Each structure stands twice: as C-alpha cells, then as structure tokens.
Structure 1
C-alpha cells in the first residue's frame, strides 16, 4: 500500500522531471517529509479534457460526489481492479493524475515491532505515482494512489507498493483521450524496480505530526 510519503523537491525540479508543459497553482511547494492521508497533496492533472496540465492541490482521499453517504474513502486503488470497479473505473478512464513524491514509507516486522523504511529512487530523482481523482461532494478534488504487487527490493518490506511510472509513461497516463484499458496496459509501464532502494529510518515517522528531514535519514543499524 502507500499510506505515507515525502515530497521535498522544489517546483523547478518537478517540472524538469515531468518534461511536459505544466502550469502551477502552487509553485512555492513547502518540503514535506511525512505526508499523511486526509491532507492536501500536490498532483498533476487536467481540469478538463482540453485544458493544460496543472500542478495543484487535491485531497488525499477518494470519495466521488455521486457516492452514497456510507461509501468508503480509500487512499489507494489496486491496479488489478481500478479499471473494472464501479467505484473507480470512471476516474480511471477520464480523471487520471500523477502524484509527485521523493519516496514513500513502509513498515516491516522486526523483533515483534514495526520498523519503518524509506523507499526512494537510487538516483535521487522524483517519483511519479499514478493516481486517479474525482470531484468530492464538497466540490473539491480527491484522489487515490494506485498500488501494485511489490517489485524488486520493495518486496523485502511489503507485498505492495505505489505504482511509480517510467518517464515515457507520464504523457500517456495524463492523456484524456487514452481511455481503452488494453491500450493503456500496452502503453503505460512502471518504473524499473532496479531503480528503487530503501533503508530503515526513525520510528518518529510513525507520528504524522513529525515533519522534518531527519525522518528520511538512514539509521546507522537496526
């Protein structure tokens, strides 16, 4: 799953990594080292099919405006079901987005406790996580981050991971005219898992009120 991540790259670095024309409504990004669900996060999306790509804020919690009062508010959507689930398929076809992140946190059991790890790219470049969004009942956008079975070294930590896309897949993922599931499957690729690395970090990350760069610092030893 993906339940906590960090984003500290400045806007120019994100724009350069995306390599697509981008308008920003929040170019002065504040570094965040412990982004939790139920908060505003940055996402790249189109507000309508013919509009430009924008980097703006969306709520991390997917709750479409048409859903019932007791409907769930997931923060993740599984790639295995996102295209066919009634709850997600409309957003998957028409409202896809990218969530920038420098890495995400996951926990693994160690001696009866849970040890957090920070997973990130080995070259320090931002990750682009596949997401979907929908207008919430309050008219604000809400999103879920897609997850897939863990690959590479990420399997050492958890059985699932966020779907991070490779550079060539960013434009197709954001293309509003690409709606066919099979075409998308053949076009969109995840980041090479060999580019992912990880290390154990302080349990201070367990509390979402903690938010500083020490949270991503490697522990000297377990």
Structure 2
C-alpha cells in the first residue's frame, strides 16, 4: 500500500512539470510527509465552457464519493487489479482519474527493534495514478475533492520493502489518463498504466530514514531531513 508520501514540489514547479494551471492549490509550498486525511495537490482535467482545463487542485486523501455515507470507509488506496470493477472505484475510474504529484513515498520494515521507515524515490518528480471524487458540503454549498492512490504489485526497489507500490504514470500517458471523457476500454488502460509503472519502477531506489517519520504527530512535515538517508 501507500500510506504516506512526500510531495515537496512548490506550485510553480508543479505547474511547469504538469503543464497545468494552479487551480485551488495556488499556494502549495510542498511537504515531506503527506498523511491520510491531509489536503494535498492532485492534477485533473475538466471541460469548462467546452474547453479542456488541466489544473492543480487541493483534495483530501481518502476517497469519499458523493453517494457514500458519512460513516463509510474513505480508502486511501485502490488496487489496480480490481479498480475497474469495484463498486467503490469503478465510476471514478471511468471518468474521474487524476495524477498525484510525489517525490517519493514511505514504507516500513519490521525489525527486532521496531518499525524502520524507508523512503522510496526516483531522481525527479513522480506522477502517481489516482482517482478523485467531488462532494458538495450541504452547509457551505462548496465543493470539496477527495482522492485515492492506485497501487499495484511492487517491482524493483519497491518490492524490497513492501509487496505493493503506487502506480506511476509516464508523461506520454498523462493526457489519456486525465481525460474526463468516459473511458471506453478499461482493460487497455489498465495494461498501459501497468507497463508505464514498470518503467518507472526500474528507476527507483530506497534508503532508510529517521524513525521520526513513524509519528505524524511528532514529525514536522515541512522538515526536509525526513527524507534524508541514515544509511
């Protein structure tokens, strides 16, 4: 799974990297630890006045579709193997796909002395496949976004620590993945993002980081030393 990640890319760099407009995430400065229920940037495309707009918007991590009950689950991950057929995800997979900007993510190794965090990353920014949902607040009347990160069987460095990893998407597939048009061939898209993620996985490396990462209450998410190697 992916239960914590870094997205230390300020909004100007995000806009340049994804060729996108700032949207609601116009003031994003980057964090070295994004945890479930935190707001963070996602990249999505929408048709507005018959024009396609690619924006970087804030969304809260933990998918909550408009039809979901308040007490229902808010999954932070969706399995690629079942995302096209699962009742929780299939509607969003059809037409509400997004990219989740990351610079790396954390996984934990069980050791005799406790859980040891590892930081798994590449040389540059990463685009994880995600799904989003929009829900209207009945009190304020405003729309809020939530999202989930799609995961798959781990490869290469990711597989050394955990059996699952985020699905990463290469730039040549961003346009099709972000398209708000209803997805006609879900199987082909699943195959294509699998192949894309295989390529990205080959570029990733991992190192141990300080155990401060284990506590979201104690770790300062703006502290760059969270991702520094202790090896």
Q: Structure 1-normalised TM-score?
A: 0.90
Residue in 2 that maps onto 1:167: 171
Report matched runs for 1:1-222 at 5 Å: 1-18=1-18, 20=19, 22-25=20-23, 26-48=25-47, 50-121=51-122, 123=123, 125-136=124-135, 138=137, 139-177=143-181, 179=183, 180-188=185-193, 189-190=196-197, 191-209=199-217, 210=219, 211=221, 212-220=223-231
Cα shift readout 1:134-171 (whole Å, capped 9, x = no counterpart): 12353311110101011111111001011111221212
The residue aligned with 2:140 is none
Q: CA deviation at 1:128?
A: 0.3
Q: Deviations over 1:102-151 (max 9, x none)?
A: 00011011225110000100x2x101010001123533111101010111
Contact kept in structure 1, 2:93 and 2:131, CA below 8 Å: yes
Count of residues in Structure 1 that have an aligned counterpart in Structure 2: 216
More displaced, 47-56 or 71-80? 47-56
Two-structure CA RMSD over aligned residues (Å): 1.8
Q: Could you tell me how far 1:186 is from its partner in structure 2? A: 4.4
Query: Residue 109 of structure 2 aligns to a residue in which SS?
Result: strand
Structure 1, unpaired ranges of 5+: none
Cα distance in 2, alignment partners of residues 45 and 72 from structure 1: 23
5+ residue gaps, structure 2: 138-142
Whether the 8 Å CA contact 2:84–2:186 is kept in 1: the answer is yes
| 8 Å Cα contact 2:46-2:180 kept in structure 1 | no
TM-score (norm 2): 0.87
Secondary structure of the residue aligned to 1:64 is coil
